């Protein structure tokens, strides 16, 4: 009955497929994408060029084959079509603070060679389709995706299309294989790449694989012997002997820039580069024209400075939450001397462990400083969990060993000493984000000395931190100043939980700088799971409650596995503010213009740094003084590990933040300001004539 529809059946079946065929153009919020073909008609078995054209929104960028320090390369998935690799045009440097990425702004064209099936019939259609994904970034990064396709007629003879000339122009932007030989050999900080091309005045190398070179480190160029040489600092995965280095080298001559694709192998027998710890030396030299020499402080003065620095550390805001726990321990009845010794042992064991880790990392070639563990978002998360548990304990939500009160006084006494010991451990942990006066010189000396000396200085620092509590424990006259035990102690104990909760809030804020909103959300979920597990322990009974409690703790700990650092986002300088992100290049540029410069090396986990910013650097009188004197304010963020900032700290005899430098116009070197700032101190420093510049530690 419906036989009249039979001739129309193929068209009817094809209609839905045509309706859903991928278009050649598509747009997202930030990028307009288009597939461009060099051919109007293709022949069976033919190879021809197509291009993915990206028109990118102003001030946004996509990424090259090797995106650099962060980012993600564009991908094109040609499902069911034989396609060659992407042919990438020469990228541009995308610098965001200390991060250097490689990518494209404005308009970019990525070329791909497609092959028409050999069995394609003339009169049919060749319909290659692609899923295209890219990451587009400005202040934030957004992954985007489009589906694109072409619809080309197959004929016995191919015919060029109207975009053939445009494709050829884009092909001209693809780096060609170098017409000259290049050499690769080890250099003091990485590798030296050299070539015979004469007349080169500048060069830059883009490695096409991550880790071979340090993207954010300067590449030192020099012309030599009628050719050129480029010293390229090694990256996180330095080249081994015999391994090739490939990428694009851009050579600048009087005729302009020319990009060449090169590959060179590290000679056999050559050792690895020194690794990322040494990459920041060029930046450090630019930032500090007069590098700090090896410390000649001497062991005894270093021990005395460490002891005094540890004493002052008790006054730092980092240790305030733990001071409350120490105060509670002193007002309890018990053996004050034994508790003082146990607390001191906890502090000293922690500082010895920290020294051992530093010694091991230094032996492995890494450059680390005071507070280095707070660079890790996992460490920050663990400490926040620990302080949250301490706060819940002080609030009376649960008790350690509360069900064992009838065992005997000896066990109770042992539990009290254990509590004092772990209070000492906690004090050492939360003290490390702060740097007290006198500590800087002692730590700089220790980090340049053998392991035994480093350990001795760290133990002296720990002894200084523990000394006030130890003196109170052994000084009967001081003990008489303590209030008598009574019912008030329970309320006081509950009150002391709130400094712990405040410390958790601070740590979650630090985590937000390192792991982003997703990291904070997971951490908050972990805290809820911990509280739920303790509630089950307190209220539940039976196997089911026990299993649920253990499962909650396990889930809370599993968050550690999912916490990941996010790319740096120029956190150090707020948009629209007068503060610029620190870089060695920017500092050198400002000094070349004879401008006064104030440099603030800080970190989100450094409470001393934050206090200085609130009480001194953000004060109206300081801002007015900066404006009147024309002071440029550069801010370096050490929240995440940054070898360039680490090198600057080391160059000025410091192993941790804060570090405040003032470069007066015409001054040969920076004035190092104290680690505890006041508005008057800053205003006085920038008003002193250059000839009177002085250094203060």
- Which tens digits make up the pLDDT trace of 104-129? 999 999 999 999 999 999 999 999 99
Lowest model confidence (mean pLDDT) among 174-178, 247-251, 329-333, 590-594: 329-333
pLDDT surpassing 50 at residue 262: yes
pLDDT per position as a tens digit, 184-220: 888 877 888 988 888 889 999 999 988 788 888 889 8
Lowest model confidence (mean pLDDT) among 317-326, 452-461, 497-506, 558-567: 317-326
Segment 258-263 shows an average pLDDT of 90
Map tokens 């968050």 to a residue. Answer: 559
Segment 421-430 shows an average pLDDT of 76
Q: What is the pLDDT of residue 175?
A: 93
pLDDT per position as a tens digit, 372-399: 555 667 777 777 887 788 778 777 776 5
pLDDT per position as a tens digit, 554-566: 888 887 777 766 5
Lowest model confidence (mean pLDDT) among 161-170, 172-181, 358-367, 471-480: 358-367
Q: Give all strands (DSSP E) within 239-360, no chain letters.
A: 244-253, 256-265
- Collapsing DSSP to helix, strand or coil, 221 comes out as strand
Pick the most confident of 59-73, 406-420, 510-524: 59-73
Segment 49-72 shows an average pLDDT of 91
List helix spans (H) across 540-673: 542-562, 584-592, 607-612, 620-629, 643-651
Residue 573's pLDDT band (boundaries 50, 70, 90)? Answer: very low
Structure tokens at 258: 């020319």
Segment 82-90 shows an average pLDDT of 93
Tell me the C-alpha distance between 64 and 328, whole Å. 58
Q: What is the pLDDT of residue 12?
A: 43
Q: Side-chain half-sphere of 245: how many Cα atoms within 13 Å? A: 32
Residue 55's pLDDT band (boundaries 50, 70, 90)? Answer: very high
pLDDT surpassing 60 at residue 137: yes
- Helices 451-474/439-447 angle, 10° precision: 140
Model-wide pTM > 0.75: no
Map tokens 């680690």 to a residue. Answer: 675
Higher pLDDT, 639 or 349: 349
pLDDT surpassing 60 at residue 440: no
Higher pLDDT, 110 or 310: 110
Q: What is the pLDDT of residue 406?
A: 32
Lowest model confidence (mean pLDDT) among 95-104, 120-129, 224-233, 437-446: 437-446
Say what percent of the chain tops pLDDT 70.
73
Q: Side-chain half-sphere of 250: how many Cα atoms within 13 Å? A: 14
pLDDT surpassing 60 at residue 333: no
Closest by CA position to 424, among listed 375, 463, 370: 463
Q: Judge whether 655 and 369 are in contact, CB under 8 Å.
A: yes
Contacts 24+ apart (CB under 8 A), 482-488: 482/330, 482/331, 483/331, 485/331, 485/332, 485/333
Residue 352's pLDDT band (boundaries 50, 70, 90)? Answer: confident
Q: Judge whether 432 and 671 are in contact, CB under 8 Å.
A: no
List helix spans (H) across 631-689: 643-651, 679-687
Q: Judge whether 105 and 137 are in contact, CB under 8 Å.
A: no
pLDDT per position as a tens digit, 653-694: 776 778 899 999 878 788 888 877 888 889 988 886 654 444
Segment 34-48 shows an average pLDDT of 94
Q: Side-chain half-sphere of 110: how many Cα atoms within 13 Å? A: 24
pLDDT surpassing 50 at residue 570: no
Residue 544's pLDDT band (boundaries 50, 70, 90)? Answer: confident
Domains of the chain: 22-173 (2.60.40.1250), 177-279 (2.60.40), 299-562 (no CATH), 579-692 (3.40.30.10)
Q: What is the pLDDT of residue 155?
A: 94
Higher pLDDT, 495 or 18: 495
Pick the most confident of 54-58, 134-138, 363-367: 54-58
Q: What is the pLDDT of residue 273?
A: 39
Higher pLDDT, 670 or 494: 670
Q: Judge whether 122 and 154 are in contact, CB under 8 Å.
A: yes
- Angle at CA 608, nearest 5°, toward 606 and 610? 75
Instruction: Let me know if 687 is exposed, middle or buried by CB neighbors in 10 A (0-12, 13-18, 19+).
Output: exposed
Q: What is the pLDDT of residue 607?
A: 63
Structure tokens at 543: 């196997």
What is the maximal distance between C-alpha atoms in the chain?
114
Q: Which residues contact 181 (CB under 8 A, 6 or more apart)?
A: 195, 196
Q: Which residues contact 332 (CB under 8 A, 6 or more apart)?
A: 416, 485, 489
- Angle at CA 428, nearest 5°, toward 507 and 478? 120
Residue 178's pLDDT band (boundaries 50, 70, 90)? Answer: confident
pLDDT surpassing 50 at residue 347: yes
Tell me the C-alpha distance between 135 and 216, whole Å. 20
Q: Side-chain half-sphere of 236: how many Cα atoms within 13 Å? A: 9
One DSSP character per residue, 393-430 reads HHTTS--TTGGGTTS-HHHHHHHHHHHHHHHHHHHHHH
Segment 527-531 shows an average pLDDT of 86
Q: What is the pLDDT of residue 296?
A: 47
Mean pLDDT of the chain: 76
Q: What is the pLDDT of residue 16?
A: 42
Structure tokens at 156: 């016995």
Tell me the C-alpha distance between 340 and 270, whole Å. 55
CA distances to 53, 206, 310, 525, 624 from 532, rounded to whole Å, are: 53, 51, 38, 10, 51
Higher pLDDT, 357 or 287: 357
CA distances to 282, 519, 567, 629 from 559, rounded to whole Å, are: 39, 9, 19, 49
Residue 321's pLDDT band (boundaries 50, 70, 90)? Answer: low
């Amino acid at each position: 009955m419906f036989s009249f529809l039979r001739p129309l059946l193929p068209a009817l079946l094809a209609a839905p497929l045509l309706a859903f065929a991928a278009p050649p153009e598509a747009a997202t919020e930030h990028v307009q994408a288009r597939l461009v073909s060099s051919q109007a008609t293709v022949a069976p078995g033919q190879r021809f060029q197509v291009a993915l054209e990206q028109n990118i929104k102003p001030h946004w960028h996509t990424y090259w084959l090797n995106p650099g320090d962060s980012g993600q390369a564009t991908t094109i998935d040609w499902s069911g079509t034989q396609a060659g690799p992407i042919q990438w045009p020469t990228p541009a440097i995308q610098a965001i603070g200390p991060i250097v990425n490689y990518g494209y702004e404005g308009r970019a064209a990525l070329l791909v060679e497609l092959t028409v099936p050999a069995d394609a019939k003339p009169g049919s259609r060749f319909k290659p389709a692609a899923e295209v994904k890219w990451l587009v970034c400005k202040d934030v990064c957004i992954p985007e995706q489009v589906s694109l396709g072409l619809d080309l007629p197959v004929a016995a003879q191919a015919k060029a299309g109207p975009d053939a000339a445009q494709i050829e122009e884009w092909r001209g932007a693809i780096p060609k294989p170098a017409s000259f030989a290049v050499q690769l050999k080890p250099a003091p900080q990485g590798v030296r790449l050299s070539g015979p091309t004469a007349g080169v005045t500048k060069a830059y190398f883009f490695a096409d694989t991550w880790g071979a070179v340090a993207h954010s480190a300067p590449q030192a160029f020099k012309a030599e012997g009628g050719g050129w040489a480029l010293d390229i600092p090694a990256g996180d995965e330095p080249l081994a002997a015999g391994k090739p280095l490939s990428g694009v080298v851009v050579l600048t001559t009087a005729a302009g820039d020319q990009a060449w694709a090169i590959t060179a192998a590290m000679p056999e027998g050559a050792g690895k580069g020194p690794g990322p710890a040494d990459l920041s030396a060029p930046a450090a030299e630019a930032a500090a024209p007069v590098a700090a020499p090896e410390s000649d402080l001497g062991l005894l003065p270093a021990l005395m400075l460490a002891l005094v620095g540890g004493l002052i550390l008790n006054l730092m805001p980092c240790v305030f939450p733990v001071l409350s726990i120490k105060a509670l321990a002193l007002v309890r009845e018990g053996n004050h001397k034994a508790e003082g010794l146990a607390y001191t042992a906890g502090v000293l064991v922690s500082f010895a462990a920290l020294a051992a880790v530093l010694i091991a990392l230094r032996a492995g070639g890494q450059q680390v400083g005071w507070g280095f563990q707070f660079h890790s978002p996992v460490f920050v998360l663990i400490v926040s969990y620990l302080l949250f548990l301490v706060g819940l304990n002080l609030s009376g939500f649960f008790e350690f060993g509360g069900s064992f009160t009838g065992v005997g006084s000896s066990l109770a006494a042992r539990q009290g000493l254990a509590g004092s010991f772990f209070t000492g451990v906690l004090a050492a942990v939360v003290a490390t984000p702060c740097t007290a006066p006198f500590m800087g010189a002692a730590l700089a000396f220790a980090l340049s000395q053998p392991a035994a000396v480093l350990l001795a200085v760290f133990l002296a620092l720990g002894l200084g931190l523990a000394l006030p509590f130890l003196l109170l424990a052994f000084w009967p006259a001081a003990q008489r100043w303590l209030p008598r035990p009574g019912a008030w102690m329970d309320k006081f104990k509950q009150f002391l939980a709130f400094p712990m909760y405040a410390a958790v809030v601070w740590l979650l804020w630090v985590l937000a700088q390192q792991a982003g909103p997703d990291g904070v959300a997971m951490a908050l979920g972990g805290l809820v799971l911990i509280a739920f597990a303790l509630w089950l322990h307190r209220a539940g009974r039976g196997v089911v409650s026990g299993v649920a409690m253990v499962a909650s703790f396990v889930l809370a700990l599993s968050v550690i596995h999912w916490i990941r650092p996010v790319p740096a986002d120029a956190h150090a300088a707020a948009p629209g503010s007068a503060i610029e992100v620190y870089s060695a290049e920017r500092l050198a540029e400002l000094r070349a213009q004879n401008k006064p410069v104030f440099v603030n090396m800080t970190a989100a986990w450094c409470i001393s740094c934050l206090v200085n910013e609130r009480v001194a650097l953000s004060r109206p009188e300081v801002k007015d003084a900066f404006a009147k004197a024309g002071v440029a304010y550069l801010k370096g963020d050490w929240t995440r590990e940054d070898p360039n900032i680490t090198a600057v700290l080391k160059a000025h005899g410091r192993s941790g933040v804060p570090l405040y430098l003032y470069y007066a116009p015409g001054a040969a070197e920076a004035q190092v300001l104290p680690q505890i700032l006041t508005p008057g101190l800053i205003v006085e420093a920038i008003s002193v004539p250059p000839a009177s510049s002085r250094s203060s530690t």
